Amino acid sequence: MSIGERIKQRRKLLQITQLEIAEQLKMGRSNFGHIENGRVTPSSSDLQKIADILQTNADYLLGRTDDPSPQGAAAGLKTYPEWATSKDKRDLKKMLQSPDVLYFDGIEFSDEDRAKMLGVMETIFWEAKKMNKEVNRKSREKKNNRNNKEL
């Protein structure tokens, strides 16, 4: 489900109109409609405001978690896969803090583009980590099976 679809679903659940949210965001209703329809991606600050208005968290709206409860955002908690180690979390933080993430072809990303880029990079990071852990697990199993056969 896209960001816009999650926003729309949550807004309808809470019976809030597009106009009510747009007014709180200090934007026109049609601009907010563009966010819901996926034509425009909200800036990170607007996304957080939308999450607050919709009593949820930004990670839910971004599709990083299926838990719509506002506690994660309110407590400043980051959601990680349950299998993530402390080292995995440090590696992610180090990668996302790299200054190279802020530029492309010598041009600095806008806040909105940076938020999108960081979200995509985080998703790819966790997918690669998971795949790597699976490959390593299979390799260890194969090695153990060979060692057991030799005994």
List, for residues 22-55, the tens digit of each pLDDT value: 999 999 999 999 999 999 999 888 998 999 899 8
Q: Architecture of 3-74 per CATH?
A: Orthogonal Bundle (1.10)
pLDDT class for 76, splitting at 50, 70, 90? very low
Q: For a pLDDT cut of 70, what percent of the chain falls above it? A: 89
Q: Where are the domain boundaries for CATH 1.10.260.40 in the chain?
A: 3-74
Q: Average pLDDT, stretch 107-130?
A: 79
Q: At 151, is the pLDDT very low, low, confident or very high (cuts 50, 70, 90)?
A: low
Mean local confidence (pLDDT), 68-94: 72
Predicted TM-score (pTM) of the model is: 0.49
Q: DSSP for 7-69?
A: HHHHHHHTT--HHHHHHHHTS-HHHHHHHHTTSSPPPHHHHHHHHHHTTS-HHHHHTS-S---
